[in-house]
Structure 1
């Protein structure tokens, strides 16, 4: 094989070598670099968790808003809350407490 034949073979192969090196670099960046596929999956999980937390907080806010509206609208809600949370007993009412039987 002459010197010119070797140069001609490498001249034809250098494009392939360069393309393979570029492909390797791109694959490295895709799997291990910044903004890679594992990073994408981790961010997707974080978004799902945050969406769940937001849904829970939205439900809690709706319940609190309903309580606020009840308290603004009527005295019955205030009275019910005082009875349940503070043990309020009206004048003239009799309070009965039923205790469970003791198991012997």
Structure 2
């Protein structure tokens, strides 16, 4: 990696990732959103259906199906952490007072 040389293509990395995820999803008893996914006996690899790049771009742009929920959880986490930020600010203020007094 020191020379930024990729050992595997994006397609190979994607194939490996899909292979790992399919097995985990099966163990957990979940279903995959890809109705076309199938195991190729010749290559011994999972093959997925065509990718919907428009859906992918929408998700990146914040228009995904879980975006509103994700943002709400982020706001909740920020609000729940207010006491930590306030305590840290108060601690820093007291430390600064001690240094000024010394």
TM-score by length of 2: 0.33
Query: Which has the higher relative contact order, 1 or 2, with Cα contacts under 8 A spaced 6 or more apart?
Result: 2
From the CA coordinates, give the structure whose radius of gyration is larger: 1
Instruction: From the two aligned structures, give the one with the greater helix fraction.
Output: 1
Instruction: From the two aligned structures, give the one with the greater strand fraction.
Output: 2
